Amino acid sequence: MYLGIDCGTQGTKALVLDANSGQVLGAGSASHTLHSGANGRREQQPQQWLDAFEQATREALATAGISGEQILGIGVSGQQHGLVLLDEQGTVLRPAKLWCDTESTPQNRLLLDHLGGEAGSLQRLGVAIAPGYTVSKLLWTREHHPDLFARIAHILLPHDYLNYWLTGRACSEYGDASGTGYFDVRTRNWDRALLDFIDPSGRLQRALPPLLEAHQPVGRIRPQIARQLGLNPEAVVASGGGDNMMGAIGTGNIRPGAITMSLGTSGTLYAYSDKPMVSPHAQVATFCSSSGGWLPLICTMNLTSATGLVQQLLEVDLQRFGDLVEQAPIGAEGLLMLPFFNGERVPALPDARASLRGMDGGNLTRANLCRAVVEGTSFGLRYGLDLLRASGLQSQTIQLIGGAAKSPVWRQVIADIMGTPLVCPQHTEAAALGAAIQAAWCVMPGADRQAQLAALCERCVQLDASTHTQPDPARTAQYERVYQRYREQVSLLAENPLA
């Protein structure tokens, strides 16, 4: 039995996997609180993650009907790019700045200029650093909290911090590390010189965690944490990884030819590559995978975070929201939403804000507003898919995961806009499943590590045939016209982000 944990923006999910049968036996969850500011601040208290970890784990064990003593390994998935700073005693210095935090946009510009712009960043790191990456958060901390900055002893990502709490060991693995902005994805090494540019004293270099291969465990769980969680004190903690990297494993996306799309707080789209295919398009991030390869990826900042705002405004639940979307025609009778409530990474519009275009006296209805936000967020993913395809990545189908993937309405909209068939795995919370699979991989002995992982994925990742969704050519053609209008508006915003 293996425990998979996914610490996301909205909450923590846990599941218990029987790696022999490939069955998920139980699941649990607990919510987080997001602290937001009008200046783009998006932060969380790491203590919340620990509390949620415990609550979700106990619920997963209870629903599985097993004792925690049966858990042989633990894998942790975490939201990428977040910054957790610890002092010498392992105390958290301040709230964690998250992936969706854009407060450090000015610092990102300064660092990007230092690297020689997007082209220079791609040449040096293999990725073009963007607002939300970890590196600009470090410069922001130095400028805004110099007293805390002087006490930094460990620089960790959210999943690294959870592993540290579990084991007492600070370390990182290539997949999550490749989203920091101070990591070379080609050589799989930290870019120490870039950290010295931020702080010439070498403090940040000394605070870097050592790097692990994806199949290497961090260590055994600490006895006091095992007692607190009710787990086997001999349980091994896997290297873990970022949520997208774990989502790839949890959908069996460990070989070329597959594309995974995640409909969560953010929207992501990624495909496995066995070599570092650095795209000429700066918005494609060629991260490392947590399965031994690379994971070219695009990420939109606004997905269910945007549709959730419309739900709150209209005071409707998910079922009613879906009904309203279906009531409105494609194109929402001319109503077009650019849902950049927190700026946007893809398309690259960090300073943009959301807007509603094409309103008239007849089309501003509840149904059209719901459809406009679903279409607007989906067009961002289509924009990213176009970039991946232009980079040479192709796939005949999409595997859809994340909370919104459970909605038949969303699935049909995505299939039609992308013009591509899609299917969901049986477990759409693929990051937690991927973490559990990786935990089993780390525990298993053997020489052919890649063959072992492939066998685990084949056994544990099952598709849900009832979710197979085919695009309708007529609807795809209708969406294409609306999408081109979206592209025109994005081009105008690129020239004037505050328009």
Give the catalytic positions in this structure: 243
Please report which helix (H) or strand (E) contains residue 96, including its range: strand 96-97
What DSSP letter does each residue of 282-311 carry, written as one string? TTSEEEEPSSSSEEEEEEES-SHHHHHHHH
What DSSP letter does each residue of 222-239 carry, written as one string? PHHHHHHHT--TTPEEP-
For the chain, the C-alpha Rg in angstroms (whole number) is 22
- 8 Å CB contact between 156 and 209: yes
Nearest 5°: phi and psi at 194?
-70, -35
In order of 373, 378, 428, the CA distances from 317 in angstroms are: 15, 20, 20
Burial code of 171-196, b = ≥16 C-beta within 10 A, e = fewer?
bbbbbbbbbbbbbbbeebebbeebbe
What DSSP letter does each residue of 457-486 carry, written as one string? HHHH--EEEEEEEPPPHHHHHHHHHHHHHH
Q: How far apart are CA 171 and CA 154, in angstroms?
A: 9
In order of 136, 154, 162, the CA distances from 157 in angstroms are: 14, 10, 9
Among 384, 378, 369, which Cα is nearest to 417's? 378
Half-sphere exposure of 443 (CA within 13 A, CB side): 21
* Strands annotated E in 111-247: 154-156, 172-173, 183-184, 189-190, 211-212, 219-220, 236-237, 241-242
Residues 6+ apart with CB under 8 A from 326: 409
